[in-house]
Amino acid sequence: MNTIALDDVLRRTHNLPSLPTVVLELLASMDQEDVNIDTLTSKIGQDQALTAKTLRLANSSFYGMAKQVSTIHEAIAILGFRTVRSLAATAALIGTFAGRTPTSFNVVPFWRHSIAAAVCARELATHLDLNQEQAYIAGLLHDIGRLVLVTQFQPNYEATMAHRSQFDCGLLDAEQAVLGIDHAAVGLGLTRHWKFPDAVTQAIGAHHASTSLDLQPLSLVVMASDVIAHALDLSMDDDDAVAPVPTDLWQQLGLDQQVLLKVLASTEKQFEGESP
């Protein structure tokens, strides 16, 4: 029997890597106006690994630096605090789960897809006048429930992947058939447990909803970003597939074809700069 109850998942949250305090503070500060930049900057600076990863991303080709950025202060001066905050959160979240996934789970396509969705969500948020950083983080974490299932319920998840492979069905269908729960519900439970902003937890929980009606704007953005990131084929996974798209999603987002073409081009270009 491979089914898992949400209570089982939440009971095992103590086995999950706890997010470093600095990450929680970065995430919590994203919807605050009165952020003490110096305090957060010095906290990022105290974590050498996080500083190094953030600077590596800041120095990636996308940002086209004329000279190497070597400190968090320099990065903020050139890229802006909001961008550096997103970069630091990305670096920290990837680092938190590094080395914890079983070898049978290919983590590279997972993070490539997550970053593509994050970049796309930020781009969509720009066109819809939403909080870009919050969209980026929600996009980055939309599949975090998969990491929980993979790390905490490995045999069950392997059975899920075998089912998916056997029937060539969508991941969500396979999870529901084998586990009786899916990664969106797990992600919702986990990010609630981590006390993420409500709009972010809602977006993570709803990214595979069967309808786009009554969803908050951020949830629509993450739902669309997931679909677009799969369609752009950026994960490097031969078995990648676009999930069924809910009726009226594009209409509700109110983006015409020309804007969507711009979003595709911009997502691909920015992804090249931010992918690990």
Footprint on this chain of other proteins (rule: CB under 8 A): 108, 168-170, 227-228, 230-234, 236, 240-250, 257, 260-261, 264-265, 268, 271-272
Alpha carbon separation from 98 to 88, 92, 202 (Å, rounded)? 15, 10, 26
Give the tokens for residue 274: 């931010």
DSSP codes, 54-73: HHHHHTSGGG--SS---SHH
CB-wise, 152 or 267, nearer to other proteins? 267
CB-wise, 30 or 115, nearer to other proteins? 115
Give the tokens for residue 226: 């997931």
CB-wise, 74 or 240, nearer to other proteins? 240
What whole-number distance in Å separates Cα of residue 59 and Cα of residue 74?
11
User: Closest separation between CB of residue 120 and other proteins, Å?
Assistant: 12
First-residue to last-residue Cα distance in the chain: 37
User: Closest separation between CB of residue 26 and other proteins, Å?
Assistant: 27
User: Closest separation between CB of residue 68 and other proteins, Å?
Assistant: 20
CA 245 to chain centre: 19
User: Closest separation between CB of residue 35 and other proteins, Å?
Assistant: 34
CB-wise, 15 or 210, nearer to other proteins? 210
What whole-number distance in Å separates Cα of residue 206 and Cα of residue 193?
17
User: Closest separation between CB of residue 241 and other proteins, Å?
Assistant: 5
CB-wise, 198 or 248, nearer to other proteins? 248
Q: % helix / strand / coil in the chain, to the nearest 5?
A: 70, 0, 30
Alpha carbon separation from 172 to 41, 131, 141 (Å, rounded)? 39, 28, 16
CB-wise, 16 or 117, nearer to other proteins? 117
> Tokens 């929680």 appear where?
24
CB-wise, 203 or 227, nearer to other proteins? 227
Phi, psi of 99 (to 5 degrees): 80, 0
User: Closest separation between CB of residue 240 and other proteins, Å?
Assistant: 6
User: Closest separation between CB of residue 49 and other proteins, Å?
Assistant: 21
What whole-number distance in Å separates Cα of residue 18 and Cα of residue 118?
22
Say how many C-beta atoms besides its own lie within 10 A of residue 60's C-beta: 16
Amino acid at 128: L
